[in-house]
Amino acid sequence: MTALVVAGLSAREVSRRRAAVLLVIALPLWFYLVRRDLTGQSLRMLSLGIGWAISTLTLFVVNASRGVDPRLRLSGASVAGLVGGRLLAMSGAGTLLALGYWVLVSLDQTVPHPFAAGLIMLMAALVAAPFGSLVGALLPRELEGALALLSVCAVQMLADPAGLAAKLMPFWSVREIGTYAVDDADIGFLWRGLAHFAVVWVICTAGTLAVFAHRLRLARYPEP
């Protein structure tokens, strides 16, 4: 119940930031258009754009709720409810964004595995929500948080795919599943991408829960 209430509050907070929402919707499109002539690169750039947009929007929501969280906690809300509600709202927004771009790509490009192409965007959006939440939990100011997210996405784009650094980035699953979807590679790429997504999602969610549990812990005083 708490998670649904927090999800509703988060959705209301996002709806107030109309300019940010418009940028979130439009930014991945520019990523896609600059590489539209190259199917593989355009899909990967589009997915990373979705990831950056959703993680940044989640960061804003987390930072905006810092003043409300202590009051919700004192009123009986659990830490899991607070974190889960925000992830629910932002994952839902990311899913809608990914679905819209999947329709666009399906009409504009031909790939061997269209379902996997949509899966790339969905995975990017779903991992972006807990990743943005974790960065927001660790960095209290929006500017520092946004720069941190931009740095991670830039490294993910530029890192050598054969190197270790690229595989340690949160959006590596985009490349793995993309190789299967676009290049018609072995299905092992798909499973490795899904496994990487699951590990990153668990780490980011658990990290967010740990930080919030420490920050919003309730003081216990001895009975008189």
The string of pLDDT tens digits covering residues 121-175 is: 999 999 999 999 999 989 888 888 888 888 888 888 888 888 888 888 899 998 8
Nearby residues of 221 by Cβ (< 8 Å), 6 or more positions away: none
User: In this structure, what DSSP letter does residue 17 have?
Assistant: -
Higher pLDDT, 28 or 220: 28
Single pTM value for the model: 0.90
CB 94 within 8 A of CB 13: no
Query: What is the rounded average pLDDT for all residues in the chain?
Result: 87
Cα separations (Å) of 64 from 1, 49, 109?
A: 21, 23, 38
Q: Quick one: pLDDT at residue 1?
A: 62
Q: What value does the mean pLDDT take over residues 82-94?
A: 90
Query: Which residue, among 154, 133, 136, has the nearest Cα to 200 in the 3D structure?
Result: 133
Span 171-204, pLDDT tens digits: 999 889 988 988 888 888 999 999 999 999 999 9
Span 48-60, pLDDT tens digits: 899 999 999 899 8
CB 219 within 8 A of CB 74: no
Q: Crossing angle of helices 172-183/188-215, nearest 10°? A: 160
When pLDDT is cut at 50, 70 and 90, the band that residue 35 belongs to is confident
